[in-house]
């Protein structure tokens, strides 16, 4: 990985995201995985915007709101953060991917 990847945005861990949730931080959490993966389990308060449909939803993102992205392994969320931070959006990438997350904010089902 390049040392330049995080110049325009921050990368956090799921543990840090849990701390932000505990503090009721104002943010929008976006899960980039496919709908079946999201429905099986996802981070609490996350909305599902599949990476494969990025061109359909990217122009509808709220301007100025902190956007926190995660995916299965961390690579797609990093690409989205690169693209959006270059456009001026405040974004954060969650490192590592959801497949390793075992914490308290795991939610099953679509709700």
- 54: domain CATH number is 3.40.250.10
Instruction: Tell me, yes or no, whether 3 lies in a domain.
Output: no
* CA atoms 111, 48, 61, 81: torsion sign: positive
Instruction: Tell me, yes or no, whether 107 lies in a domain.
Output: no
Instruction: Tell me, yes or no, whether 1 lies in a domain.
Output: no
φ/ψ (deg, to 5) at 99: -60, -20
C-alpha closest to that of 43 among 55, 53, 33, 51: 33
20 has a pLDDT exceeding 90: yes
Instruction: Tell me, yes or no, whether 21 lies in a domain.
Output: yes
102 has a pLDDT exceeding 90: no
Lowest mean pLDDT among 2-6, 38-42, 96-100: 2-6
106-107/28-31 β-pairing: unpaired
CA gap 41, 82 in Å, rounded:
26
Instruction: Tell me, yes or no, whether 40 lies in a domain.
Output: yes
Which of 37-50 are b and which e, b meaning 16 or more Cβ less than 10 Å from the residue's Cβ?
Answer: bbeeebbeebebbb
pLDDT digits over 23-64, tens only? 988 999 999 999 999 999 999 999 999 999 999 999 999 998
The domain in which residue 38 lies consists of 10-101
Instruction: Tell me, yes or no, whether 80 lies in a domain.
Output: yes
Instruction: Tell me, yes or no, whether 110 lies in a domain.
Output: no
Judge whether 48 and 35 are in contact, CB under 8 Å.
yes
Count the domains in the chain. Answer: 1
Q: What is the pLDDT of residue 65?
A: 93
């Amino acid at each position: 990985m390049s040392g330049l990847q995080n110049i325009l945005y921050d990368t956090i861990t799921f543990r840090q995201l849990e701390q932000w949730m505990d503090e009721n931080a104002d943010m929008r959490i976006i899960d980039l995985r496919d709908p079946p993966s999201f429905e099986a389990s996802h981070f609490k308060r996350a909305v599902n915007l599949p990476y494969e449909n990025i061109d359909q939803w990217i122009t509808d993102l709220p301007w100025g709101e902190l956007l926190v992205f995660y995916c299965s392994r961390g690579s797609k969320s990093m690409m989205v953060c690169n693209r959006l931070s270059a456009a001026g959006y405040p974004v954060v990438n969650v490192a590592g991917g959801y497949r390793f997350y075992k914490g308290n904010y795991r939610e099953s089902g679509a709700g």
